[in-house]
Structure 1
Amino acid sequence: MATRAPDRSTAVSRHRSERLSRQLAHRLDVKASPYAYVAPFLLLFCAFGLFPLVYTAWVSLHEWTLLSDVHKFVGLDNFTFLLGDSYFWNATFNTLSIGLVSTVPQLLLAIWLAHLLNRPLRAQTLFRVTLLLPNVTSVVAVVVIFSQLFGRDYGLINWVLSWFGVGAIDWNAGTATSHVAISTMIMWRWTGYNALLFLAAMQAVPRELYEAATIDGASGFKQLRKITIPMIKPTIVFVVITSTIGAMQVVAEPLLFGTYSPTGGPDRQYQTLALFIYENFTKLDFGYASAISWMMFVFIVIIAGVNYLLTRRSGGNIT
Structure 2
Amino acid sequence: MATRAPDNVAAIPPAPPVRSSPGTNRRHLVHRLDVKGSPYAYVAPFFLLFCAFGLFPLAYTAWVSLHEWTLLSDVHTFVGLDNFRTLLADDYFWNATFNTVSIGVFSTAPQLLLAIWLAHLLNRPLKAQTIFRVTLLLPNVTSVVAVVVIFSQLFGRDYGLINWVLSWFGAGAVDWNAGTATSHAAISVMIMWRWTGYNTLIFLAAMQAVPRELYEAATIDGASGFTQLRKITVPMIRPTIVFVVITSTIGAMQILAEPLLFGTYSLTGGPDRQYQTLALFIYENFTKLDFGYASAVSWMMFVFIVIVAAINYLLTRRTRGSLT
TM-score bracket, shorter-length normalisation: over 0.9
**Alignment partner, residue 287 of structure 1:** 292
CA–CA distance in structure 2, aligned partners of residues 36 and 309 of structure 1 = 34
1:118 to 115, 123, 129: 123
Q: Provide the secondary structure at the position in 1 that maps to 2:158.
A: coil
Residue type at the aligned position of 1:207 = R
- Aligned pair 1:138/2:143, yes or no? yes
AA aligned to 1:94 is N
Partner residue, 2:180? 175
2:91 alignment counterpart? 86
Q: 1:59 is matched with which residue: 39, 64, 70? A: 64
Question: For 1:221-247, what per-residue CA distance to the aligned partner results, in whole angstroms no more than 9, with x for missing partners?
Answer: 000000000000111011000000000
Equivalent in the alignment of 2:26: 21
Asked if structure 1 preserves the Cα contact closer than 8 Å seen for 2:260 and 2:266, the reply is: yes
Letter in 2 for 1:84: A
- 8 Å CA contact 1:229, 1:315 repeated in 2: no
User: What's the CA shift for 1:29?
Assistant: 1.7
Give the equivalent residue in structure 2 for 1:191: 196
The unaligned stretches of length 5 or more in structure 1 are: 1-7
- 1:18 positional shift: 4.5
Displacement, 1:26? Answer: 2.6
What is the CA distance between 1:39 and its match in structure 2? 1.0
What is the distance in 1 between the residues matched to 2:312 and 2:58? 23
Where does residue 308 of structure 1 map in the other structure?
313
Deviation of 1:19 (Å): 4.5
Please report the TM-score for the alignment, with normalisation by the length of structure 1: 0.94
Q: Which residue is 2:171 aligned to?
A: 166
What is the DSSP-based 3-state SS (H/G/I as helix, E as strand, rest coil) of the residue aligned with 2:281?
A: helix
Aligned 8 A contact 2:93 2:281 in 1: yes
Look up the equivalent residue of 1:13 and give its one-letter code: R
The aligned counterpart of 1:40 is 45
> Could you say what secondary structure the match of 1:171 adopts?
coil
1:20 Cα deviation after fit: 3.8
Kindly indicate whether the alpha-carbon contact (under 8 Å) linking 1:241 and 1:308 is maintained by their aligned counterparts in 2: yes
The equivalent position to 2:270 in structure 1, one of 265, 269, 287, is 265
Question: Structure 1, residues 178-197: CA drift from partner, whole Å, max 9, x if none?
Answer: 00000000000000000000
Distance in 1, Cα, partners of 2:116 & 2:24: 56
From 226, 231, 238, give the equivalent of 2:231: 226
Alpha carbons 1:103, 1:243 under 8 Å: kept: yes
In 1, the alpha carbon distance for the partners of 2:53 and 2:132 equals: 37
Moved more, 220-229 or 304-313: 304-313
- How many residue pairs match? The answer is 310
The equivalent of 1:49 in structure 2 is 54
Letter in 1 for 2:119: A
Report SS of the residue matched to 1:205. Answer: coil
Partner of residue 161, structure 2: 156
Select the residue among 101, 109, 126 that pairs with 2:114.
109
CA distance in 1, matches of 2:261, 2:74: 33
Instruction: Please report the RMSD computed on the Cα atoms of aligned residues, expressed in angstroms.
Output: 1.5
- Matched residues in 1 for 2:24 and 2:231: separation? 56
Q: State the distance in 2 between where 1:84 and 1:318 align.
A: 42
Q: Which amino acid aligns with 2:19?
A: S
Structure 1 contact 103–247 (Cα < 8 Å) conserved: yes
Q: Deviations over 1:59-82 (max 9, x none)?
A: 000000011100000000000000
* Rounded Cα–Cα distance in structure 2 between residues aligned with 1:163 and 1:37: 60
Q: Contact conserved, 2:230 with 2:323, CA < 8 A, in 1? A: no
**What's 2:5 paired with?**
none
2:148, 2:260 → 1: CA distance? 9
Aligned to 2:283: 278
Please list, as runs of the form range in 1=range in 2, the aligned pairs for 1:65-84 lying within 5 A after superposition.
65-84=70-89
Cα offset, 1:32, TM superposition: 1.3
SS of 1:297's partner is: helix
Deviation at 1:34, TM superposition (A): 1.0
